[in-house]
Structure 1
């Protein structure tokens, strides 16, 4: 009888970082607790596995109290000062704010799924402002007005709106090219369209 123990629970307890990463990427239930109420994040913190704790947190692991206390209390109780300090510093972070842990692929997936740049304390955008690495660069690019270079980082609804507007602009452009006089107007319409797209398309497009 395993008492509700999951592969993610065991990997987190043992500090097996790459196993934890693979399980999370495969969709493992991040907060599934053992029958006694202990969660993967709690066990990682109890045993001082800082990198595992960071990775679980970047996937949104709950820091709520278990029957044995919170993950932060467990780290403090066991004397894992570096982990306890990180848990305090990251209390207000959303998954997208975990720049040091996020791969480019994970950051892109979060941005494309609609993760906010402006929620949390500090916000992902604030952390990325002076940050290094691919995740920080992607967040800064996603915060800029829409362009063909940032299109892939916008949520699905915004990408669909962009495609619709771009098609519309080019259809107008082609129509105005029916005569030489219209060609000038068509180019102007095309240039105007590209200028305003950055304002017409936002990450919050419904």
Structure 2
């Protein structure tokens, strides 16, 4: 009937099994033949943590032939789950701080996930949040530096690498002697500071 391993894991509330499947690339929104999705199955049976995990992978909350995930959670009396679905309506995957592992947060940040989209935004949620995911988001929001380089999207990392290489090539071209070495180091340090303004995490 088109039922996937992910659907079964979510229906049965098998959180770690669902996590492994999603990490391996399972299609989060693949519905079975009757149109029910993994998120709908989790909400029908009241599996709050599974629903949070699916939502963090971008699970659609659109209506199925049986209603929306939010509607089925309410109808089945899963008040805590229904309340969470309402509260998280505007979240992007990166805003799911309580669910994201450090590896998943890093992957989203490196993939270009916005810090400023959604309601509330991931950065706003992370401002006073605890845990590794919140700390990574706060670090990613700072100007570019060697410490935050790994959390920037691929185009920004490539631009940073190019500009850093250019700074060193300029330094080498002038063949600074020992008397000028201190000034040369200062110039490189200045260059690294300027890079924080030259490399943007998100494009307008």
CA shift for structure 1 position 135: 0.1
Q: Which residue of 2 aligns with 1:37?
A: 35
- Structure 2 contact 58–93 (Cα < 8 Å) conserved: yes
CA shift for structure 1 position 184: 5.2
Q: How many residues in Structure 1 have an aligned counterpart in Structure 2?
A: 204
RMSD: 1.5
Give TM-score, length-normalised by structure 2: 0.96
- Structure 2 contact 111–153 (Cα < 8 Å) conserved: yes
Q: Which residue of 2 aligns with 1:197?
A: 195
- Structure 1 contact 128–137 (Cα < 8 Å) conserved: yes
Counterpart of 2:79 (choices 72, 78, 81) is 81
Alpha-carbon distance between aligned partners in 2 of 1:184 and 1:35, rounded to the nearest angstrom = 70
Structure 1 residue 160 corresponds to structure 2 residue 155: no
- Structure 1 contact 172–189 (Cα < 8 Å) conserved: no
CA shift for structure 1 position 181: 6.1
Alpha-carbon distance between aligned partners in 1 of 2:126 and 2:178, rounded to the nearest angstrom = 48
- Structure 1 contact 45–71 (Cα < 8 Å) conserved: yes
Report the secondary structure of 1:116's partner residue: coil
Alpha-carbon distance between aligned partners in 2 of 1:157 and 1:15, rounded to the nearest angstrom = 39
Q: Which residue of 1 aligns with 2:17?
A: 19
After superposition, residues 163-178 of structure 1 pair within 5 angstroms as 163-178=161-176
Give TM-score, length-normalised by structure 1: 0.95
Alpha-carbon distance between aligned partners in 1 of 2:121 and 2:168, rounded to the nearest angstrom = 37
Q: Which residue of 2 aligns with 1:102?
A: 100
Greater mean deviation of Cα atoms: 38-47 or 164-173: 164-173
Note the residue ranges of structure 1 that are not aligned, 5 or more in a row: none
Alpha-carbon distance between aligned partners in 1 of 2:49 and 2:186, rounded to the nearest angstrom = 54
Deviating beyond 2 angstroms after TM superposition, the runs of 4 or more aligned structure 1 residues are: 174-189
Alpha-carbon distance between aligned partners in 2 of 1:177 and 1:67, rounded to the nearest angstrom = 72
- Structure 1 contact 31–39 (Cα < 8 Å) conserved: yes
Q: Which residue of 1 aligns with 2:123?
A: 125
